[in-house]
């Protein structure tokens, strides 16, 4: 591979894969046709670079520069997206890793430690509802049986989708060999926020990730006719569901730096002239620490419970995923920052596979400036010059760690 590969050029090669026709941006969900096309593209890119490619038992792809084994310097990110997601969230980390390998090779670098590029499966949880599913399975952070029974909106289980993608569902779960292979993990990611814009810098190192989780609030009432049912005779679950959405904003606004989002509401059956029988509402709540995050959720649950009672509806709440605050390895963060001549350290409100692995191995993240800070939307962007600054930074860090 020549040294002219750029992150921007590699992103352009996959620009048309998995376009979301409804929202714009991309819809690339784990093991769907678009994500599988991206997987095939990644394998082809790795093979062009004589990187030995393997898929682990949990569907994560590994491309090896050097002999696979314990203590490698591992980088990478994910290729799946949220519905209508941007071009950079995930893929920038993967293409930057490929370009960084090219840069190191063009500079005549020969690693003393093996370097691996990993593409983690289902980082967004966009299909099966649990974020970082691939890295959670690898590290034992989710029960394999719970994972196997996760299902998508069409009722397809993770076990079925994994089998269809060529995995053995019976084997998903903690992978000690894969975990031992990771001596250090460094993930490059587009910044999801405005920190770097406000600092006027192209690249930062991460210092922490907010605690965050997802909860499903299920309201049950009585399906009925929209026209023939008097208001006093209704048990309409959409009413407490609506109050719960407002409660999320109220509860989060009461806690410093907390965030609560409802991005998905599914009424059953969802007819215009039908009083719903049930309404499922998914909550994404985040805050600086466990107590604040759970406190926001409890406040929302209390308000939703009262709203359900007023409409004579039932409410159940299920925690679907949770991750406590992540503080990245301070020593590694300082090493990375020093290798880059002293870049800013930024917190993030976005979760990452690096956040899952940080509980097991020394982990760092690099952020690349995003001019608007917008993410999880088609408008997500990073300037080509900043993307290349990210590649140079990643190559520098990998070279120092593997040298």
d(CA 257, CA 68): 42
Site for ligand HGY in 116-135 (CB under 6 A): 123-124, 131
Least distance in angstroms from the C-beta of 350 to Mn ion? 6
Q: How far is CA 79 from the centre of its chain?
A: 10
Helix 384-402 × helix 330-339 angle, to 10°: 120
Q: DSSP 3-state assignment of 5?
A: coil
Least distance in angstroms from the C-beta of 92 to Mn ion? 9
90 binds, among Mn ion, ligand HGY, none (CB under 5 to 8 A by kind): Mn ion
Site string for Mn ion, 84-123 (x = CB under 5 A): -----xx---------------------------------
Residue nearest to Mn ion (CB): 89
Q: DSSP 3-state assignment of 126?
A: coil
For ligand HGY, give the closer residue by CB, 190 or 203. 190
DSSP E strand boundaries for 242-313: 259-268, 274-275, 278-287
For ligand HGY, give the closer residue by CB, 132 or 275. 132
Least distance in angstroms from the C-beta of 302 to ligand HGY? 25
Q: CB within 8 A of 395, min separation 6: which ones?
A: 99, 100, 101, 103, 104, 107
131 binds, among ligand HGY, Mn ion, none (CB under 5 to 8 A by kind): ligand HGY
Token pair 């090669």 is at which residue?
13
Site for ligand HGY in 346-365 (CB under 6 A): 350-351
For ligand HGY, give the closer residue by CB, 296 or 303. 296
Cβ proximity of 313 and 220 under 8 Å: yes
Least distance in angstroms from the C-beta of 18 to ligand HGY? 16
Least distance in angstroms from the C-beta of 391 to Mn ion? 17
- Local structure of residue 25 (DSSP, 8 states): S
d(CA 75, CA 349): 21
- Which of 234, 238, 243 lies closest to 219, judged by CA? 238
Which chain residues interact with ligand HGY by CB under 6 A? 123-124, 131, 350-351
Which chain residues interact with Mn ion by CB under 5 A? 89-90
């Amino acid at each position: 591979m020549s040294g002219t590969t750029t992150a921007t050029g590699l992103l352009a090669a996959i620009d048309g894969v998995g376009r979301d026709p409804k929202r714009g941006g991309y819809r690339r969900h784990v093991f769907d046709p678009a994500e599988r096309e991206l997987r095939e593209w990644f394998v082809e890119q790795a093979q062009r670079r004589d990187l030995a490619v393997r898929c682990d038992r949990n569907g994560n792809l590994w491309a090896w520069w050097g002999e696979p084994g314990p203590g490698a310097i591992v980088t990478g990110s994910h290729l799946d997206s949220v519905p209508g997601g941007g071009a950079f969230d995930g893929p920038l980390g993967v293409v930057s890793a490929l370009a960084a390998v090219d840069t190191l090779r063009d500079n005549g670098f020969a690693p003393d430690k093996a370097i691996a590029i990993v593409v983690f499966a289902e980082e967004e949880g966009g299909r099966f509802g649990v974020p970082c599913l691939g890295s959670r399975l690898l590290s034992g952070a989710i029960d394999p049986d719970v994972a196997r029974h996760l299902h998508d909106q069409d009722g397809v289980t993770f076990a079925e989708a994994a089998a269809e993608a060529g995995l053995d569902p019976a084997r998903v779960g903690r992978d000690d060999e894969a975990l031992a292979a990771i001596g250090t993990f460094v993930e490059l990611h587009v910044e999801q926020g405005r920190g770097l814009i406000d600092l006027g810098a192209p690249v930062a190192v991460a210092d922490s990730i907010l605690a965050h989780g997802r909860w499903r609030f299920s309201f049950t009432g009585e399906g009925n006719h929209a026209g023939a049912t008097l208001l006093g005779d209704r048990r309409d679950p959409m009413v407490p569901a609506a109050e719960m959405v407002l409660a999320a904003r109220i509860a989060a606004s009461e806690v410093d730096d907390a965030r609560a989002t409802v991005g998905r509401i599914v009424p059953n059956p969802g007819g215009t002239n039908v009083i719903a029988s049930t309404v499922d509402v998914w909550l994404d709540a985040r805050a600086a620490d466990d107590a604040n995050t759970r406190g926001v959720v409890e406040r929302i649950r209390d308000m939703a419970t009262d709203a359900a009672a007023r409409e004579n509806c039932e409410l159940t709440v299920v925690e679907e995923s949770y991750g406590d605050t992540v503080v990245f390895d301070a020593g590694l963060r300082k090493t990375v920052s020093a290798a880059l001549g002293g870049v800013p350290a930024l917190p993030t409100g976005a979760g990452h596979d690096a956040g899952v692995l940080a509980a097991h191995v020394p982990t760092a993240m690099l952020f690349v400036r995003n001019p608007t800070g917008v993410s999880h939307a088609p408008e997500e962007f990073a300037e080509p010059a900043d993307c290349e600054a990210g590649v140079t930074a990643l190559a520098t860090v990998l070279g120092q760690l593997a040298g």
